[in-house]
């Protein structure tokens, strides 16, 4: 069994990081994991990773996160993983949120001689992998979902459509919510999810099972996806056997996402008509939702992704 030194943020009770938490749990079936990082992990300011390597003798170092200079553990702070370039074992970094700071990330990888990067978006990986140093390996590694948490629960689907998530940075999503909420013929469940706060209470916030149940109580989940991104919501909605209504992501074909087969494509002009159509056509709605459910369980569970990551790491050894 591989021994991983896992450098990352506290993720168990942070809404924006729970997907990474689920993936880390899935990796535990394949590897022994030693965790270091702020807010809940063993943590000291300015950790010398080369010293951790000598103490724990890992086979691989896995660095989690958006990019290493995030504003944690305090505003204006950063995670100073020191002496990464001196480490002798293979180093892997997971890039999943790829809408900002890509030049900085590439710089960090090249400067610290990170052996492999795991990219959440295939077309963005292809655009930038030539900028990585010679011998570096870039692998596509899209989002995954914990199918033990995100599943169709034995409860009534009391809402027609759910509009969930942040509204502050998504004006199109805000428009969807406002438009549907004014319709007396559509039962809408809308709630803003918590942001990057740590130590959230799952009984009070939409996180973990409470978030999954909110999706599973709805017949449809609708959202926008900026710049063709395959957001976590595609996977979460499908896993709950809830019909996903969203734009076609750029990597749709590679993800096995097929509009009209396992999700419904929408745009800013037709989303109301689509909601009304699938409310009236229950059989078709359930058919597409079932196909989405099967696709996610086959290709995008945390268990599947963990196995893929372990196999990728073995290429470095």
What would the pLDDT profile of 185-204 be if each residue is shown by its tens digit?
999 998 876 655 667 777 77
Mean pLDDT across the stretch 84-106?
A: 87
**Do 9 and 125 sit in the same domain of this protein?**
yes
Residue 232 located in a structural domain: yes
Both tokens of residue 83?
């002496």
Question: pLDDT at position 197, please?
Answer: 64
List Cβ neighbours of 273 (8 Å cut-off, separation of 6 or more): none
* Cβ pair 219, 288 in contact under 8 A: no
Distances (CA, A) of 147 to 42, 85, 157, 201: 29, 37, 19, 21
Question: pLDDT at position 301, please?
Answer: 98
Q: How many domains is the chain built from?
A: 2
Q: What is the CATH number of the domain that holds 181?
A: 3.40.50.2000
**Do 180 and 117 sit in the same domain of this protein?**
no
**Do 82 and 186 sit in the same domain of this protein?**
no
pLDDT digits (tens, 9 = 90+) for 237-256: 999 999 999 999 999 999 99
Question: pLDDT at position 70, please?
Answer: 46
Question: pLDDT at position 77, please?
Answer: 44
Residue 152 located in a structural domain: no
Question: pLDDT at position 4, please?
Answer: 95
276 has pLDDT over 80: yes
pTM given for the model: 0.91
Question: pLDDT at position 43, please?
Answer: 46
Question: pLDDT at position 139, please?
Answer: 96
pLDDT digits (tens, 9 = 90+) for 31-83: 999 988 765 454 445 678 999 999 999 999 999 865 444 444 444 445 568 88
* Cβ pair 129, 191 in contact under 8 A: no
Which residue shows structure tokens 């610290």? 112
d(CA 259, CA 54): 50
Residue 81 located in a structural domain: yes
Question: pLDDT at position 25, please?
Answer: 92
**Do 280 and 169 sit in the same domain of this protein?**
yes
**Do 126 and 184 sit in the same domain of this protein?**
no
- Work out the burial of residue 208: count CB atoms within 10 Å of its CB; fewer than 13 is exposed, 13-18 middle, 19 or more buried: buried
**Do 234 and 282 sit in the same domain of this protein?**
yes
Q: Show the domain range for 259.
A: 159-299
Distances (CA, A) of 188 to 15, 94, 215: 22, 35, 11
Question: pLDDT at position 38, please?
Answer: 61
Which residues on neighbouring strands pair with residue 62, listed in sequence order? 6, 92
* Cβ pair 275, 253 in contact under 8 A: no
**Do 288 and 308 sit in the same domain of this protein?**
no
Question: pLDDT at position 79, please?
Answer: 57
pLDDT digits (tens, 9 = 90+) for 113-122: 999 999 999 9
d(CA 236, CA 247): 15
**Do 105 and 186 sit in the same domain of this protein?**
no
Residue 151 located in a structural domain: no
Residue 150 located in a structural domain: no
């Amino acid at each position: 069994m591989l021994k991983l030194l896992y450098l990352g943020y506290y993720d168990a009770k942070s809404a924006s990081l729970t997907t990474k938490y689920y993936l880390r749990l899935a990796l535990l079936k394949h590897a022994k994991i030693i965790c270091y990082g702020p807010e809940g992990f063993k943590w000291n300011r300015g950790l010398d990773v080369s010293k951790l390597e000598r103490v724990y003798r890992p086979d691989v170092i896995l660095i989690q996160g958006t990019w290493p200079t995030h504003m944690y553990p305090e505003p204006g702070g950063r995670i100073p993983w020191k002496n990464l370039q001196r480490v002798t074992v293979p180093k892997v970094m997971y890039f999943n949120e790829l809408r900002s700071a890509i030049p900085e990330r590439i710089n960090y990888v090249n400067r610290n001689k990170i052996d492999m990067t795991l990219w959440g978006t295939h077309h963005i990986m292809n655009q930038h992998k030539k900028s990585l140093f010679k011998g570096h390996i870039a692998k596509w590694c899209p989002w995954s979902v914990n199918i033990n948490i995100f599943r169709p629960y034995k409860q009534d689907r009391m809402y027609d459509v759910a509009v969930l998530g942040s509204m502050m940075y998504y004006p199109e999503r805000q428009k969807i919510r406002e438009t549907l909420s004014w319709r007396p013929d559509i039962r809408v469940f809308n709630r803003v999810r918590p942001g990057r706060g740590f130590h959230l209470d799952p009984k009070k916030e939409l996180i973990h099972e409470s978030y999954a149940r909110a999706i599973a109580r709805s017949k449809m989940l609708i959202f926008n996806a900026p710049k063709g991104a395959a957001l976590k919501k595609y996977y979460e909605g499908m896993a709950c056997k809830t019909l996903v209504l969203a734009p076609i992501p750029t990597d749709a074909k590679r993800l096995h996402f097929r509009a009209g087969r396992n999700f419904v494509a929408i745009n800013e002009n037709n989303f109301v008509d689509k909601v009304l159509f699938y409310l009236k056509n229950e059989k078709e709605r359930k058919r597409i939702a079932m196909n989405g459910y099967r696709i996610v369980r086959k290709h995008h569970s945390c268990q599947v992704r963990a196995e893929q990551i372990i196999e990728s790491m073995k290429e470095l050894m």
